[in-house]
Structure 1
Amino acid sequence: MNNEVRVLIADKMDPRAAGIFRDRGIHVDEKPGLSPEEFAKAIGDYDGLAVRSSTRVTAAIMDAAAPRLKVIARAGIGVDTIDVPAASARGIVVMNTPFGNSITTAEHAIAMLFALAREIPQADQSTQSGKWEKNRFMGVELTGKTLGLVGCGNIGSIVADRAHGLKMKVVAYDPFLSPERAIELGVEKVELDELLSRADFITLHTPLTDQTRGILSREALASTKRGVRIVNCARGGLIDEPALKEALDSGHVAGAALDVFAEEPAKDNPLFGTPGLICTPHLGASTTEAQVNVAIQIAEQMSDFLLLGGITNAVNVPSLSAEEAPRLKPYMNLAEQLGRLVGQIAGTGIRSIDIEVEGHAAELNIKPITGAVLAGLMGTWSDTVNMVNAPFLAKDRGIGVREIRNEGEGDYHTLLAVTVGTEDQGARRVEGTIFGNRAARLVNIFGVPIEAELTGQMIYIVNDDQPGFIGALGTQLGENRINIATFNLGRRKDEREAIALIAVDDPISAEVAQQLHELPGVREVVPLSF
């Protein structure tokens, strides 16, 4: 079997990206401009897919890529050309490069502010056509004006910094902007209606979501200060374009500079030709530096994931740095084993999952551990589940997930516990630890201390604690020519109940499981697979 890691670059990208893949031993093909049919035919041969804004990655494409494709990476910020929910459902990591073109996009927004304030494109066109309309183009100063930022994340904060250098006053609307961060940035945090009523210039720096779509609606535009100027270098669809045209025609909005549109490529837009409008063809990230930065960054991120398990700038799974991955690997192995153990025994009636880390484990990044627990547990119901899609499957099934940290040490230097709430059995808890920083061990199952390695084919048996049972069990397995690899025992003395976890060399058939269940004193038999 060929274990070569393969990546497809489906859009034009700086050649340094392909160079990074090759330097790290990854086979890479550069095939920009494939037709949808060619794309669907080719994609099944690759573990990773790198795109920019031209290639649309649909659910149908992902189905054609199954089961090999593990990661889709966008060299840029927006992932609206990728069906992220479909990727999540199929266990595919989706990455982007949110910081590689931040400065370039922020600078483009500032350039648009200047262009609006001084009507530079219109004056250029007039002058080059042989006119000298000096009195026609009466601009306004930026100094002393109020800039309203709709969105104050990475790009918005850079625009704020540049605006301060222009001696502008900056107000910002962003539900995720903390008061402390606003003070640090030197901006005044306000609600959207106040920003609209106060701002002389408005710039948009927010992703396109169900909450932000049409954020500058007809009603919002009507509530802005008369003579406002608007810049959008973020995403098309944030502004109601027909309403913006009416506001420009009426003079309520003095000017608008748009780098993005609701439909792209925008070759026939009703806004075109409207007085006061400046347009560029989605140039926010179009500088030499930005193209190089995002190409290098996406190649490094994909290589770290495909070779080391590191997850950086993913939009549908928690981050896990390449440095963290080796340290977390034994804990994630333990987490998956515990999830798989409790999932196989507790069945499908699970309604809640508590994941608790104690001691040394409490210092670690818990999100990947949670993903591994859920992948192990949900993997008992589906053979296509992994730590990417497991949280979504749990949510779809109405299973509540809670994470708990306990920095104090108990009986073990480090401990991971998984407790499931079930419909008919109440809470069921399993605990595990790491020996020697790498060996995963079960140390407690449903309140019974027991030390066992969870591996291969096993049998979980609950029986009356009475003499002779182990001999009868061994005889029954021997008669079925099933060899015992390890035998682990624990018991509840007060209930005269014993638990056995037995590793065997061959899978336990339903017929053998029934024979074991018929042994005297047996209460429960569950074949296990790890």
Structure 2
Amino acid sequence: MAPKVLISDKLSEAAVQIFRDRGIDVDFQPDVGKDKEKLSQIIGNYDGLAIRSATKVTQKIIDAATNLRVIGRAGIGTDNIDKEAASKKGIIVMNTPFGNMITTAEHAIAMMFAVARQIPEASASTHDGKWEKSKFMGVELTGKTLGVIGAGNIGGIVCDRARALKMKVLAYDPFLGEEKAKKMGVEKVDLDDLLARADFITLHVPFTDQTANILSADALAKTKKGVRIINCARGGLVDEKALAEALKSGHVAGAAFDVFAKEPASENPLFHLPNVVCTPHLGAATTEAQENVALQVAEQMSNYLLTGAVENALNMPSVTAEEARVMGPWVRLAGHLGSFTGQMTDEPIRAINILYDGVVAGMNLEALNCGVIAGIMKKANPDVNMVSAPVIAKERGIQISTTNQDKSGAFDGYIKVTVVTAKRERSIAGTVFSDGKPRFIQIKGINIDAEIGAHMLYTTNEDVPGIIGALGQTMGDNGVNIANFTLGRAQAGGEAIALLYVDEPVPAEARAKLAETGLFTQIKPLAFDVA
């Protein structure tokens, strides 16, 4: 059956057609996003939800989304999506961060020009029949110092455009390296230095706990007298009341804002102040950008629903279509290894250590980690998946560590998972053979070669004669057919293990008979999702 996608906001017909051309069953209802009750009633019918900013994907909507696998936001901002609730439900949230970069950067530059030359006020005055040339004395951008807070995708474009305008550019960004700054032709500075030296300040950071009110009253007091401030990024980055006071006092000469702490903004401390340019969140509002993000989200969602490729996800490592194809067997192996340790572990888990060896060490380890963690967590929560598992592990305080190394043994590559509890460590390793089938190759340091089936039985025992006979006889007596039988031991007479791949679950009666023999120290039925 074809995946079903609901488009609940206005998207271009070309984007709708992309879904159709890819074989997706698409339902285009561009006004339903404004009707929360209707949306919650129908959302359970869909695998994907494509939105802009009008649809609010709340906890209630997510609770009703029984089949939803992906939410695609045509644009950058995802403030209208409860990402924590989506992650816990195992729903991928993706956006389109590159579709409107140029447009948003250009808007910031336009706003800088507008506030430098007081263009909106001069235009309004001229429309009123006035001719107030002396009232609107502006300043040049050439030779001025621009302080860019956040030099990522959009901020980097602003830096490039500003340098073309012959401005000196300072950049404050904790993630910007010195080498990268040199290539960009900007000076990397700390925030206080930027505040003290910049003639213009423009913000290009997301809204987080760290960036909220990054231009606070105290920060504004550190700025150069006569500074002009531009915000086309996110509301809440600037203390709007403090900025209004700084504008009134003349310390700040002007401001240009496209975003506000509360939107839609019907009132704001910045409104009606002289030399304050305001636009209604138009950063991405060009024909080109709107078309780009719509087409991009349609492609991304289609790729995920049809091939498993994950692009621009906020709560899941990105996996290209090619990676998804190559990594598929390894992701399945990662899940099986996690599932084995999860089913074998009854105590609270403190840490999960994952070793990647050989060819697998060069793959997308974040995605493989998610597979391992999901496998482990499924014992406690069968509905967990690669999106929700890391969230649950973090909530439980489980430490995740990853090691990768060059080929060190007989296999081209393998994965080893070790689970640590207060009482013990338990490890298992596996590989993928040339036929694409995953195998267990080591348990508790004991080498084996075991196919993985939906139903299995794991036993441990002292290495003595009679084990194979006891297992075979007991399975036969209880009508359990053995598809594959693997044995391994640490050394002659030492600890040994057996792993049986059987056609149906081993009944409790059969396990009780095995226990009665006194030969086994552990008898554990296992189940794996091999579909």
Do the two structures share a fold, i.e. TM-score over 0.5?
yes
Once residues 395 and 323 of structure 2 are traced to their aligned partners in structure 1, the CA distance between those partners, rounded to angstroms, is 29
Partner of 1:33: 31
Give the drift of 1:495: 5.0
Partners of 2:493 and 2:373 lie apart in 1 by 31
Matched letter for residue 501 of structure 2: A
Q: Could you say which residue in structure 1 is the equivalent of 2:9?
A: 11
- CA distance in structure 2 between the partners assigned to 1:286 and 1:129 by the alignment: 28
Matched, 1:328 2:340: no
The match for 1:484 among 482, 485, 505 is 482
Q: Which residue of 2 aligns with 1:284?
A: 283
Q: Which residue of 2 aligns with 1:239?
A: 238
Cα 1:495/1:122, change in 2 over 3 Å = farther
* Match in the other structure for 2:520: 522
**Structure 1 counterpart SS, 2:134:** coil
- Give yes or no for contact 2:463–2:492 (8 Å, CA) kept in 1: no
Pairs within 5 Å for 1:203-282? 203-282=202-281
| 1:400-411 map, 5 Å | 400-411=399-410
Q: Residue type of the partner of 1:143?
A: T
Among all aligned residue pairs of Structure 1 and Structure 2, give the percentage whose two residues are the same amino acid. 56
- For the residues of structure 2 that align with 1:335 and 1:405, how far apart are their CA atoms? 14
Check conservation: 2:236, 2:260, Cα contact below 8 A.
Answer: yes
What's the CA shift string for 1:86-128, capped at 9, x where partnerless? 1111111110111110000000000001000100000000000
State how 1:117-136 maps to structure 2 within 5 Å.
117-136=116-135
CA distance in 1, matches of 2:44, 2:350: 36
CA distance in 2, matches of 1:43, 1:130: 54
Displacement after TM superposition at 1:276 (Å): 1.7
Partner of 1:346: 345
The DSSP-based 3-state class of the residue aligned with 1:159 is: helix
**2:201 matched residue in structure 1:** 202
Structure 2-normalised TM-score?
0.97
Q: Note the alpha carbon deviations across 1:342-379, whole angstroms, 9 max, x for none.
A: 21113343211111111111221111111111111111
State whether residues 470 and 514 of structure 2, in contact with CA within 8 Å, keep that contact through their aligned partners in structure 1: no
Aligned counterpart, 1:438: 436
Of 446, 463, 466, the match for 2:464: 466
Unaligned 5+ runs, structure 2 = none
Q: 1:330–1:437: 8 Å Cα contact kept in structure 2?
A: no
Deviates more, 1:340-349 or 1:410-419: 340-349
**Aligned partners of 2:36, 2:233: CA distance in 1, in Å?**
27
CA distance in 1: counterparts of 2:72 and 2:219, whole angstroms: 35
How many residue pairs get aligned? The number is 526
Three-state SS of the structure 2 residue aligned to 1:436 is coil
How many Å separate the matches in 1 of 2:516 and 2:126? Answer: 97
Whether the aligned pair in 1 keeps the contact of 2:407 and 2:413 (CA below 8 Å) is no
CA distance in 2, matches of 1:41, 1:21: 23
The residue type paired with residue 58 of structure 1 is T
Letter in 2 for 1:519: T
Counterpart of 2:371 in structure 1 is: 372
Match for residue 52 of structure 2? 52
- Deviation at residue 275 of structure 1 after TM alignment: 1.5
CA contact (8 A) 2:464 2:493 kept: no
Structure 1 CA distance, aligned partners of 2:448 and 2:335?
Answer: 18
- Give the partner amino acid of 2:323: E
Mean CA deviation greater in 99-108 or 486-495: 486-495
Q: For residue 266 of structure 1, give the secondary structure of its aligned residue in structure 2.
A: coil
The residue type paired with residue 483 of structure 1 is N
Who is 2:43 aligned against?
43
Aligned partners of 2:440, 2:152: CA distance in 1, in Å?
44
Distance 2:201 2:386 in 1: 41
Aligned to 2:19: 21
Q: CA shift at 1:80, angstroms?
A: 0.9
> 1:510: how far off?
4.0
Which residue in the other structure is 2:154 paired with?
A: 155
Q: C-alpha distance in 1, partners of 2:450/2:471?
A: 18
The separation in 2 between residues aligned to 1:516 and 1:349, in whole angstroms, is 28
Report SS of the residue matched to 1:490. Answer: strand
Amino acid of the structure 2 residue aligned with 1:351: R
Q: What SS does the corresponding residue of 1:370 show, helix, strand or coil?
A: helix
2:93 maps to 1:94: yes
Bigger shift: 359-368 or 279-288? 359-368
Mapped partners of 1:485, 1:519: distance in 2: 23
Q: What's the offset of the Cα at 1:40?
A: 0.5
Give the secondary-structure state (helix, strand or coil) at the position aligned to 2:121: helix
Query: Given that residues 363 and 407 in structure 1 are in contact (C-alpha distance below 8 angstroms), is that contact kept between their aligned partners in structure 2?
Result: no
Aligned to 1:71: 70
Cα displacement (A) at 1:77: 0.7
* 1:270-291 residue CA offsets vs partner (Å, 9 max, x unmatched): 3211112110000000001101
Q: Secondary structure at the match of 1:135?
A: helix
Q: Partner of 2:361 in structure 1?
A: 362
Q: State the Cα RMSD in Å.
A: 1.2
Shift of 1:139: 0.3
The whole-number CA distance in structure 2 between the counterparts of 1:138 and 1:460 is 83
Superposition deviation, residue 250 in structure 1: 1.1
Structure 1 unpaired stretches of 5+: none
**Counterpart of 2:438 in 1: which secondary structure?**
strand
Q: 94-103 or 503-512: which moved more?
A: 503-512
On the 8 A contact 1:150/1:173 being kept in 2, the answer is yes
Greater CA drift, 161-170 or 476-485? 476-485
Deviation at 1:437, TM superposition (A): 5.3
Q: Deviations over 1:221-249 (max 9, x none)?
A: 11111111010000011111111111111
Pick which of 520-529 and 263-272 moved more. 263-272
- Please name the residue that 1:184 is paired with: 183
More deviation in 454-463 or 117-126? 454-463
Check the 8 A contact 1:349/1:424 in 2, yes or no: no
Matched to 2:30, the amino acid is P
Q: Is the 8 A contact 1:93 1:388 kept in 2?
A: yes
Residue 445 (structure 2) pairs with residue 447 (structure 1): yes
Separation in 1, partners of 2:517, 2:404: 42
Q: Secondary structure at the match of 2:354?
A: strand
State the Cα deviation string for residues 379-416 of structure 1 (Å, max 9, x = none): 12111111111111111122111111112341111111
**TM alignment of 1:105-144, pairs within 5 A:** 105-144=104-143
Q: How far is the alpha carbon of 1:516 from its aligned partner?
A: 2.3
Partners of 1:134 and 1:37 in 2: CA distance? 55
